[in-house]
Structures are given as C-alpha cells and as structure tokens.
A and B are shown apart, each in its own frame.
Chain A
Amino acid sequence: MEEETYQQSKSKIQDYEPIVGRSYIEELRMLGDRLSGKVIQAINSTYFGGGVAEILSHLVPLLNQLGVDARWNVIQGSNEFFEVTKKFHNALHGKDEKVSPQDLSLFLETSQRNLNELKFYGDIFFVHDPQPVALVTKKKEIGRKWVWRCHIDISNPNQKVWNSLQSFVLDYDAVVFSSPNFAQELPIRQFLIPPAIDPLSDKNKELPQEIIDSVLSKYGLNRDKPMIVQISRFDYLKDPLGTIDAFEKVKKNIDCQLVLAGGTASDDPESETVLNEVKERAAGNPDIHILLIPPGSDIEINALQRAATVIMQKSLKEGFALTVSEALWKRKPVVASAVGGIPLQTKHRFTGLLCYSIDGAVYALRQLLTNAEYAKWLGENGRQHVKQNFLITRQLRDYLLLFLSLDYHGDVIYL
C-alpha cells in the first residue's frame, strides 16, 4: 500500500505552556514516558477533511513529541464504499437508511482488502469511526490491544445497522465515546473522551483585526451589521435549512446577516447535494451568505468566527461539534442544539444557550443580539470552560491515560 502523508500541526508541546501551565505539560511528559516502547497505530478513512482527520493531524505529532511512538494510517476505498459508510454514519445517527445486503458485502470486501494491504505494526490499534471498524478481525491473528474511537452520536442508532457493526465492536478491548449519551450496554469497557480543539492552530489562534477585515471584505460581508455565523459541513444533520428558517424569523425584528460557511469532506459524497439545496433556499436574500470554504482555509474560518456576533450550531445530530468549542474559545456567545456533545460544551445559561427547536433558536438569538453584556458574560464563561475541558492538552492526557489503563482494571491505578 502506498504510503501517504498528512498535514502535521506545527505546534510544539512546549508552546502550550503559557496556556495550561508548565506543570500540566510536565504531567503529559510523565505519562508519555510510561508509554515508552509501545507503538500506537491510529487508523481512519481520510487524512483530510472532517473532524477526525483534524484531530489526528494535531494529536499524532504531539504524542510523538511526548515520546510516544504514534503513527497514522488510512484505509483505502472506492466512492461506492464511502457511500455505504456514509449510510452507516447516518444510520448510527438514527436516520432511517436502507442498507442493503450488497452494501454490507461491499463494506466487508473493502475491509478485507484493507486487512490484506494495511501493515499492522502497532501495540495498540486506535481505530476511528465505522469505516475501518472491521479491521479488528485481525485481532484473532495478531492479538494486542484494540480501541474503537466512535466520533458519532449513537444514542439512538438504527438497530439493524448497529447490530451489524456491533459484532465487530465487541471484539475491541475498549470503545471511546464523546458523550455519555452515546454509551451502550456493552460487555466491553467504554470510556468517555470528548474531543478538543488546538488553541494554537490556524483555526483558533489570535488574529489581527486587519486579517479579519480582509476576510470580511473578500466575502462581501458587512462588518457593521450583527452577524450570525454557523460553521459546518454542508450536511442535512447540521440543519442548515433550519438555521435559515430561524434567521429569517429573527431578521423580522433585528437587522442582521447570516453566514453559513463550510466545506466538504472526501468521505462525504452527500455534501454537494446539500450545498445546492441550501443555495437554492437562500437565493434572493442578500443577508444570507453561503460560503464554500476550501479545505485548509482555517484562517478564514477563524476570522469569520471572530467577526461573528453570535455563533450557531443548530445541528439535528452531532458527534461532538467542535465548532462550539472553537466559538467559546473565542469568547463568542453560542446558540446550539442540545444534541450529541453540545450540552457538554454549552452549559445552558452558563456558557451559551441550548435550543431544541427552530423557535427555541429564534428566542435564544434574540436574547443574545439584544443583550450585549449577557452575551459577553456567556462568552467569557465559555472561554474558561473550554480552557479547562476542551483543549487538545486535556485530550492528549485522556488518550495517554486510556492507553495506559488498558492493562489495568481497578478503580485506582498507581503508575
């Protein structure tokens, strides 16, 4: 199999010291030392696009800097294969998807081809999401520790699809979920590790006002008009149409503009269709801006978030929605649906406002657009909440602890 590369994060572990403190970094190094000699092999389906690739592109280099031999491989598959796994994805989110026997056999065939072609050199296999889940069949042959990291909201999965995948999941030593709601009754260990953002990445670092202004000019956005921003892939589950509905209701009383900005991922063939539908829905309203942001435009995303008055995440289903943490890190008030990992990030009335419907979103948006002080207070709380719980250093620590704990079973582990 051809060796591919990925865009590594440029941040160094010591760069996080001013944010989280020296002792915190020392603790990470201590944990890294204890994993010395073990190889962590991360496997997913793409190096670019989407949250998982972004997480791994930051996580793997940082693990390396802590002395952990972590490496990253991707599986290969045809467009048809990724269409099937997209169906799995939607079905696990609870959507009523038709998964045919042919779909399942294509999934198994592609998995078998990857089993034959991929090199399995890790001591701990760190497998992400449903696409590569069947690789665990290799465990019967080579043993070692296997962890399945599920980034999807499987609180109400399509049972048929879940049952098909569960036979693979049960072979893992442990499963990791992003939210307690996703936990299942399983005979294997389940851990809770929410994902996190990198405060030093282009998407989250501080930006000079000139750059923010230049991005606004580039996309023809009015900097003097309150701006509601939703950043997410063009995906039905992110409910861009519901967001437009909510915006139009708010717009009746408050002069503002809406920015729906996002990209597409190589493992999501559906996003093109959604984008066209959203463009059609927004046509004729000059205050709705649909921005297709190409991959790697993190500075632009950052600038849009920083220019926002309120950030929305009105998803119907979510794995975690890191865009919420990104917004909170930038001290922005957030209106977000109470789905997936969003309630972990948005503590209602403390670090943002949760909603359960379009009308709920309208009510929350009105509150924030007309109460600047309250919006600021939520934003400040949000920043602290993310600093404490959703920075990549916390995620690094959790994964190090997870890898170390695979050899132990008690409530207290002495290292």
Chain B
Amino acid sequence: MIQWSQWLIDNWLLVATPVLILLGSFVAGLRLRKVAYDAFSQWLAKTRWEGGQLVVEATQRSFLHWFLLLGIYIAIQVSVLPSGSKIIAGKVIGSLLVLSLVWVTISLSEKLLKLCLTKIKAPQPPTTLAVNIARVTIIIVGVLILLDIWGVPTTPIILVLAAALFIAGLALRDAIPNFISGVQIAWGEQIKVGDFIKVEPGEAGYVTDITWRNTQIKTLEGNFVLIPNNTLARTTVVNYGRPVKKATYPFRFYTRLHLKELTGLKARNLREMVNILREVPDSVVYYHTHHFLEEHHYLTPEPANDFALWVSDALGNEILGERLAAIDTFDFPTIGTLKMRLVDVIEDYLARSRDWQTAPEGREFHFIRSISVILPTPYVAYDLREFVEVIKKITTGSIYFHIFEARLRVPKGTNDFSIWVEDCLEKKELGDKIAHLDPYIYTLESLRAAIIKLIEKNI
C-alpha cells in the first residue's frame, strides 16, 4: 500500500496526464457537439429537410460516446502501459468504435429509407427489401473492418461478396434504375402529385401518383398512363406546375366529319345556277362555301367559294366572280341568309347584263350536299391549360366543328370556344378575342395557332 502511494507521488504526472486527456476529450466532445448540432439545426431550418431530425436523433448520443472512446484511446497511448497492452487496448477501442458506427448507421439508414420510400408509396415488400439490403451492407462493411483490425485476411470474403453483388445486380437490372429514379424524383421534388406535366414526346396530363416504380398521369383523354420512373428521369419533362382555375363545366370536344352527297343537279349558266340555288337545301350552300377550308389548307389565300370560282373560271365572268368572292361568309349568321345574298347578287347581275354565257361541256357546276357527321372525341378539358393542350392535339375537323359549324349553330353567332371560356371560366376578354378572329381568313392550322397563342397568354 505504501509502495503504491509512493509510486503515485513519484509518478503523479504519468497518471494525471491520461486522466486529464480523458476528461478533456469528454468536455471537448460536449462543446463540439453543441456547436455542430446548433449549426446543423440552423441549416435544417433553412432547407426544411425532413430527414434532418432523424440524423440528430440517431447521432446525438453516440457523438459523445465517440469522443469518449477517442479520449480513452489517446489516454492509453500516453500511459505507461506496456506496448503489447496498448495494441490490444487500441484494437478493442477501435472495435467498439466500429460497432457503435455500424449501429448508428444502420439505425439512421433505416429511418431515412423508410421516410423516402413512404414518400413514393413503395409497397411493403420492396421497402423491407431495401432496408434489409442497407442493413446487411453496413454489417458486412463493419465486420470486414473488424476483421481487418484483428488481422484476419479479408480479400477472399470481398471477392465472394463482389460476385454475389454482381449476380444480384443482374437480376434486378430493370427494377433498380426505376427505383433509383423514383427516389430521385421524390427526393428532388421537381415533380409532385397534382402537377401538370408534358413528357416529350408524347403524353401530357396531371400527375396522380408517384410510386417506387412508375409515375402515373391522367391524360387529357381521361386515361391513366404509367410512365416508368427511369424513363421520366431520362426524358425531357415540361412541368407546368399546379392546376389552374377549374371551369364550372368541362369542355367536351367533338369532331365533325363530312360526306359529300351528289345531288345530280348541275348548272350550265347563271340562270340555271340561280334557279337551282334558290331551291337547294342549306347543306348544299354550306358545302360550296366551306369545303375549301378543309380541302385546300396549303393554298393561302384560299379560293373564296365554289360559286365565285366557277363563274370566273368556267364562265369567264371575272366581274361577277369578284362580286361573289367578295361576299364575306363571316357576316352571315345563318346559311339561309348567305344563300339569299348569293341569289341576290346573281339576280342583280342578270337583271342588268342578260348574260347567257354557257360553261363548256364537262365544266358544269355540280351541286353537292354536305352530310355532317358529328361524334364526341375522348378529349375533355376542365381548365384552360388542359383546353389549350387538347387544341394542340385535335384534328382540324374538331376545330372546324367548334369554330365554323358553331357559328351557324349557336344563337350568339360566335363559337363554342369563346362561349365556354366566357361562361365557364369567366374570362370575358379572352372569349371576345377568340370570337373576333375571322376564321375565314385563316387556314385551319393557322387558326389553331392563333387560338393557342391567345390562350397561352392567359395561363
């Protein structure tokens, strides 16, 4: 006992130094932890990263343990213990540190993975699988480090593990990219449920779900389309963001196709033309004043109407041809009034000039009746964005129906697009602008472009 006391008195510094180092490490650890976690909390407050709190909870206590182990290790190294004991003590402390790190990493990775996979609504089996893969990977790495610390050869084990990893990678080569892309999409938050996206080239619609494998969108036709996450990550995606104001009533797009029915009636001169014209149904006048719009897109400006063209070309009467061409279809709310105007112009000319010019054989005017076939398309628009996207896709027949046929069908003498925009979206100014477009001076494609331009300015 006296010998021990004497030894301590003689060598107090050798004892005090390790103890002081141990205490110093503990105090430094406490201080450093406060500084580091305060800074981390401030960063979290800025970024609002949901995983931040999990990092704090998982590491806060162990952080101090690691500093204690560091202190013990340094204390032992500066102590007077024999070198053999120091080496063994170093290995024990290193092993404890590795075990602690493995424990914390497993705990943290599980929590972060679950948080992320919950966001992309991954089902239970792949979630459990992902957590187990992460857990086993960390344990394997930990064990390899421990074996290395204790001097056991690890190369054969690493080779076996690499081979197993390669085989697993091959087996899951399709699922893994989708899974990783799903994590990227969910984590990056560039695409969220409710966004309107357009995937180039092809589908457009509202995002209804993001899963670990696919992103689901509801297209403008009302279909649900699953886009593999990997495809989405590699493709150009235009995200228009959140929905715009919903219409009080959706716009259903129709299309109008037409069939040409021959009446068997033909005119060889102006008198015959005006006599037949007076008697034929409106559908005949409609055909001869409108079919150029659908059949001659490439000609700008398009010929005015068949009557003017025939009078100029077949009868060689440029003066009356010009008068007939100058009749602006846009001015007439009904085909009946348009027909009467055509009849009046020809009668007026006949009353003054007594023109009995006859068309050459084979150049007679054949009266054709237009049979309109109307059918609904799968396209329905609930807001202005959907509306403009559908207008970009529909056929010219559909535009024709809602613009040209509507003018003769709806009482206001305007068109379906203007009425819907005004009545169901309360955008009177936009509705007026569309209504004021004179469709007869555009080709159908340029009319489509003009409408799109007007609407896109309003979104």
Residue of A nearest to B221 (CB): A26
Q: Does B397 contact A (CB under 8 A)?
A: yes
Given the known interface contacts A192-B368, A350-B299, A414-B374, the answer about A181 and B362 at a Cβ–Cβ threshold of 8 Å is yes
Assess whether A397 is in contact with B257, with CB atoms less than 8 Å apart. yes
Given the known interface contacts A21-B395, A23-B395, A411-B372, the answer about A388 and B261 at a Cβ–Cβ threshold of 8 Å is no
Assess whether B262 is in contact with A180, with CB atoms less than 8 Å apart. yes
CB contacts (< 8 Å) of B283 on chain A: these are: 411
Assess whether B298 is in contact with A384, with CB atoms less than 8 Å apart. yes
Identify whether the interface residues of B are mostly helix, strand, loop, or mixed.
Answer: strand
Checking B264, B282, B299, B395 against A190 with a beta-carbon cut-off of 8 angstroms, the contacting residue is B264
Checking B255, B259, B369 against A27 with a beta-carbon cut-off of 8 angstroms, the contacting residue is B255
CB contacts (< 8 Å) of B370 on chain A: these are: 411
Given the known interface contacts A21-B395, A27-B255, A181-B366, the answer about A415 and B374 at a Cβ–Cβ threshold of 8 Å is yes
**Interface bits A34-70 vs B (CB < 8 Å: 1, else 0):** 1000000000000000000000000000000000000
Given the known interface contacts A21-B395, A398-B259, the answer about A385 and B298 at a Cβ–Cβ threshold of 8 Å is yes
Checking A26, A180, A183, A402 against B259 with a beta-carbon cut-off of 8 angstroms, the contacting residue is A402
Within the assembled complex, what's the spacing in Å between the Cα atoms of A348 and B333?
Answer: 33
CB contacts (< 8 Å) of B294 on chain A: these are: 388
Q: Does B139 contact A (CB under 8 A)?
A: no
Checking A30, A155, A184 against B264 with a beta-carbon cut-off of 8 angstroms, the contacting residue is A184
Checking B263, B264, B374 against A413 with a beta-carbon cut-off of 8 angstroms, the contacting residue is B374
Within the assembled complex, what's the spacing in Å between the Cα atoms of A381 and B300?
Answer: 11
Q: Does A338 contact B (CB under 8 A)?
A: yes
Residue of B nearest to A350 (CB): B299
Assess whether A186 is in contact with B264, with CB atoms less than 8 Å apart. yes
CB contacts (< 8 Å) of A189 on chain B: these are: 261
Residue of B nearest to A189 (CB): B261
Residue of A nearest to B398 (CB): A23
Centre residue among A177, A184, A413, A415 by max chain B CB count within 10 A: A413
Q: Does B378 contact A (CB under 8 A)?
A: yes
CB contacts (< 8 Å) of B369 on chain A: these are: 411
CB contacts (< 8 Å) of A385 on chain B: these are: 296, 298
Assess whether A415 is in contact with B266, with CB atoms less than 8 Å apart. no
Assess whether A405 is in contact with B394, with CB atoms less than 8 Å apart. no
Q: Does B295 contact A (CB under 8 A)?
A: yes
Assess whether B368 is in contact with A180, with CB atoms less than 8 Å apart. yes
Q: Does A113 contact B (CB under 8 A)?
A: no
Checking A22, A177, A183 against B393 with a beta-carbon cut-off of 8 angstroms, the contacting residue is A22
Residue of B nearest to A410 (CB): B371
Assess whether A384 is in contact with B297, with CB atoms less than 8 Å apart. yes
**Interface bits B250-286 vs A (CB < 8 Å: 1, else 0):** 0000010111111110100000000000000111000
CB contacts (< 8 Å) of B295 on chain A: these are: 388-389
Q: Does A185 contact B (CB under 8 A)?
A: yes
Q: Does A191 contact B (CB under 8 A)?
A: yes
Contact residues, A138-192 vs B (CB, 8 A): 155, 177, 180-181, 183-186, 189-192
**Interface bits A318-344 vs B (CB < 8 Å: 1, else 0):** 000000000000000000001100000
CB contacts (< 8 Å) of A30 on chain B: these are: 375, 377
Within the assembled complex, what's the spacing in Å between the Cα atoms of A316 and B377?
Answer: 44
CB contacts (< 8 Å) of A21 on chain B: these are: 395
Contact residues, B424-440 vs A (CB, 8 A): none
**Interface bits A386-402 vs B (CB < 8 Å: 1, else 0):** 00110000000110011
**Interface bits B291-315 vs A (CB < 8 Å: 1, else 0):** 0001111110000000000000000
Within the assembled complex, what's the spacing in Å between the Cα atoms of A385 and B370?
Answer: 20
**What are 29 A-B interface contacts by the 8 Å CB criterion?**
A22-B393, A23-B393, A23-B395, A23-B398, A24-B395, A26-B377, A27-B395, A31-B257, A180-B262, A181-B362, A181-B364, A183-B263, A190-B263, A191-B259, A193-B260, A339-B362, A381-B299, A385-B298, A389-B295, A401-B258, A401-B259, A402-B259, A405-B373, A411-B371, A412-B372, A412-B374, A413-B374, A415-B373, A415-B375
CB contacts (< 8 Å) of A338 on chain B: these are: 362
Assess whether B262 is in contact with A191, with CB atoms less than 8 Å apart. yes
CB contacts (< 8 Å) of A282 on chain B: these are: none
CB contacts (< 8 Å) of B298 on chain A: these are: 381, 384-385, 388
CB contacts (< 8 Å) of B362 on chain A: these are: 155, 181, 338-339
CB contacts (< 8 Å) of A185 on chain B: these are: 264
Assess whether A191 is in contact with B264, with CB atoms less than 8 Å apart. no
CB contacts (< 8 Å) of B378 on chain A: these are: 26
Within the assembled complex, what's the spacing in Å between the Cα atoms of A405 and B374?
Answer: 11
Q: Which 5 A-B pairs have the closest CB atoms?
A: A384-B298, A180-B366, A183-B262, A411-B283, A192-B260
Q: Does A404 contact B (CB under 8 A)?
A: yes
User: Separation in Å of the A237 CB from the closest CB of chain B?
Assistant: 15
User: Separation in Å of the B254 CB from the closest CB of chain A?
Assistant: 9
Within the assembled complex, what's the spacing in Å between the Cα atoms of A404 and B362?
Answer: 32
Within the assembled complex, what's the spacing in Å between the Cα atoms of A385 and B294?
Answer: 11
User: Separation in Å of the B247 CB from the closest CB of chain A?
Assistant: 22
User: Separation in Å of the A84 CB from the closest CB of chain B?
Assistant: 28
Contact residues, B314-346 vs A (CB, 8 A): none
Assess whether B375 is in contact with A405, with CB atoms less than 8 Å apart. no
Within the assembled complex, what's the spacing in Å between the Cα atoms of A192 and B295?
Answer: 14
Taking A388-B294, A405-B371, A415-B373 as given, write out 7 further A-B residue pairs in contact, using a Cβ cutoff of 8 Å, ordered by the A residue number: A27-B257, A27-B377, A181-B366, A183-B263, A384-B298, A413-B373, A415-B374
